[in-house]
């Protein structure tokens, strides 16, 4: 019986976080009320406050949940960087999927919200970075280190190589979307072309030199 109560509680909490995400993304932090979130989640306002003491706490959970989702998605595709997958274009697949994940319209809107509120809620911005992007950088660096050990890459500093990879991949598309409001977002084909070009350039710098034929 106790397990059932805990399961319902966890489900309500997920519903509240989902409703809050939709509300924050569509109306901003200041334009969203706890009462509205309760209505969207199909619960009472008291229930919302039972799970989250105030709006800032709930916003923080939305940020952490979004960062975790992006990172989990990246961890799933990191399996494409095994030795066998890498040899058959795994890095290009990772670049394409990573680009699609981070250029999602709702995630971009949430990213703008975090930046807009960074001065008054600095810890939330740090959570987003540490639990999201920094963790992805570390995971990619580990993959590059393993591929270097197998002589498939040349990365004396795997973390720096990962920084270069993500920098080339995201700097222009991400800034373009962030500062123009993404009114005319790039098509999927354009994002994939950019991802492919990033991988080609990265491998020129960090790819293992071809061994001379015997």
Q: What domains lie within the chain, and their CATH numbers?
A: 1-53 (1.10.10.60), 65-206 (1.10.357.10)
Q: Could you tell me the CA-to-CA distances from 208 to 84, 153, 156, 157 in Å, in that order?
A: 15, 5, 12, 14
Question: Beta-carbon neighbour count of residue 38 at 10 Å?
Answer: 19
Contact between 111 and 29 (Cβ < 8 Å)? no
pTM attached to this predicted model: 0.79
Interval 12-68: pLDDT, tens:
899 999 999 999 989 989 999 999 999 999 999 999 999 999 999 999 899 888 887
CA distance 198 to 117: 32
Regions of the chain where pLDDT drops below 50: 1-5, 210-214
- Residue-level pLDDT at 2: 46
């Amino acid at each position: 019986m106790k397990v059932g109560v805990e399961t319902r509680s966890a489900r309500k909490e997920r519903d509240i976080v989902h409703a809050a995400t939709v509300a924050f993304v569509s109306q901003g932090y200041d334009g969203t009320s706890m009462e509205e979130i309760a209505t969207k989640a199909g619960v009472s306002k008291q229930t919302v406050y039972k799970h989250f003491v105030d709006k800032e706490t709930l916003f923080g959970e939305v940020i952490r949940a979004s960062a975790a989702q992006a990172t989990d998605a990246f961890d799933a595709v990191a399996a494409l960087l095994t030795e066998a997958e890498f040899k058959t274009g795994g890095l290009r697949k990772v670049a394409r999927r990573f680009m699609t994940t981070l250029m999602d319209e709702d995630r971009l809107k949430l990213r703008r919200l975090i930046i807009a509120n960074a001065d008054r809620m600095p810890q939330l911005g740090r959570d987003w970075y540490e639990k999201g992007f920094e963790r992805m950088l570390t995971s990619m660096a580990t993959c590059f280190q393993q591929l270097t050990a197998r002589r498939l890459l040349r990365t004396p500093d795997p973390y720096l190589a990962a920084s270069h990879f993500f920098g080339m991949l995201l700097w222009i598309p991400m800034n373009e979307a962030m500062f123009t409001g993404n009114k005319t977002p790039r098509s999927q084909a354009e994002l994939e072309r950019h991802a492919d070009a990033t991988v080609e350039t990265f491998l020129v710098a960090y790819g293992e030199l071809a061994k001379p034929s015997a």
